[in-house]
Amino acid sequence: MEKKPHFVRREFLPREVPPISLALLLAVVLLLNAILYLYLNKFYSSLGRVETDPGLCPFGHFKFGALKNCTPWLSCEAINREVRKLKCVGEGAVKKVFLSEWKEKKVVLSQLTNSELKEDFLHGLKMLKALQSKHVVRLLGYCEQQFTILTEYHPLGSLRGLNETLHIPKYKGMNTWHRRLMLAIDYVGVIRYLHSSPLGTLVMCDSNDLDKVLSQYLLTSDFHVLVNDLDALPLVNRSAGRLVKCGHRELRGEFVAPEQRWPYGEDVPFEDDLMPPYDEKTDIWKIPDVSNFFLGHVEGSDIVRLHLFDIHAACKKKDPAERPSAQEVLDTYRKVLTLLIREAAVPSTREML
């Protein structure tokens, strides 16, 4: 009787791996984890870091660029004598901005243009002086008598030009979901700093639309975010029953938080005295829209949005009290970055195995 051929399903046979190969693969996995740990540690020490920058000078002093020693803020006399205007690079409702030069270094000179808004200008100066940190543009000097402020120059300009900057050949390598998420983390870090600042809880009121928000922040040459315009930063003090209102006119549109909109319907004309005040949770409402701009439409950005869906939904709660704090949003952003970096590292490890 003829025997039937005996077929063996090879895929079920155990495959022996030499001990040396296993040891090498284990070493590779451990090395990748070590690299990931060091990278994240460096990231958090530079981005998610403490509020004071060890490179900052004592209050009333500055250094930047190649300067090694701290220099006192420039006075009226020093600004008039040592600073030379080069050209006007911007003008808003409160001030005109000039690219200028000080000791062969590019700087920014801001001057009041509307005397009726001098209180806003001086408030912005007060905030700049008090909030100097890694989140805020560096103050170099000021002259209250002449309504002049001198700050550090950042050639990439405001965040309004982010997408254009990322299409410049020099910066195309930065146009990734990873770098864009890091910028969003920087932005939320600024909001968190303002909500827990040395002066108390401050609200970013110059933020009635996306373009206005982006104009308030600068993009540094090493791709970090700094807040630049602090003219409209009212203080919330719950213990004293003090809330805020961002201006004295009616605010409209989905970008501003529901509590910032006129609550009495179209039939009742807007009256500033009848408009209820609100707190810092208006800033939280706007975070998803600003972050959506940061993430753009690069490969991987939709995956990031998916991971941020729940925290962004919480930011859009109609009741301000139900929205998360800026610290909670920041913590979530950091966790998502860590998770996605790990997930990106795991596939390459599996391929090696």
**Mean pLDDT estimate for the chain:** 88
CATH superfamily of 70-153: Phosphorylase Kinase; domain 1 (3.30.200.20)
What is the reported pLDDT for 239? Answer: 86
What is the per-residue pLDDT for 16?
58
- pLDDT band, residue 56 (cuts 50/70/90): confident
pLDDT(220) > 60: yes
pLDDT band at 83 (very low <50, low <70, confident <90, very high): very high
Give mean pLDDT, residues 242-271. 95
pLDDT of 12 higher than 60: no
- Each residue of 129-151: pLDDT tens digit? 999 999 999 999 999 999 999 99
- The full 3-state SS of 273-336, as one line of letters, equals HHCCCECCHHHHHHHHHHHHHHHCCCCCHHHHHHHCHHHHHHHCCCCHHHCCCHHHHHHHHHHH
Residue 39 has pLDDT above 80, yes or no: no
Q: Six-digit token pair at 303?
A: 């995956």
Q: What was the pLDDT predicted at 64?
A: 83
CATH topology of domain 154-346: Transferase(Phosphotransferase); domain 1 (1.10.510)
Q: How confident is the model at residue 345 (pLDDT cuts 50, 70, 90)?
A: confident
- Indicate the domain borders of the chain: 70-153, 154-346
Q: Can you tell me the distance from the alpha carbon of 106 to that of 202, in angstroms, rounded to the nearest whole number?
A: 30
Tokens at 30, concatenated: 């451990």
In this predicted model, which residue has the larger pLDDT, 183 or 35?
183
Rounded average pLDDT over 189-195: 98
> What distance in Å separates the CA atoms of residue 256 and residue 237, rounded to the nearest whole number?
21
- Cβ atoms of residues 161 and 219 within 8 Å: yes
Rounded CA-CA distance 108/117 in Å is 20
Asked if 259 and 276 count as a contact pair (C-beta separation under 8 A), the reply is: yes
Least confident window among 7-21, 88-102, 241-255, 290-304: 7-21
Instruction: Give the pLDDT band of residue 123 (cuts 50, 70, 90).
Output: very high
pLDDT higher than threshold 60 for residue 312? yes
**Could you give the percent of the chain with pLDDT greater than 70?**
82
- Say how far apart CA 202 and CA 194 lie, in whole Å: 5
Nearest CA to 85 out of 96, 74, 101, 97 is that of 101
312 vs 23, more confident: 312
pTM of the predicted structure, to 2 decimals? 0.84
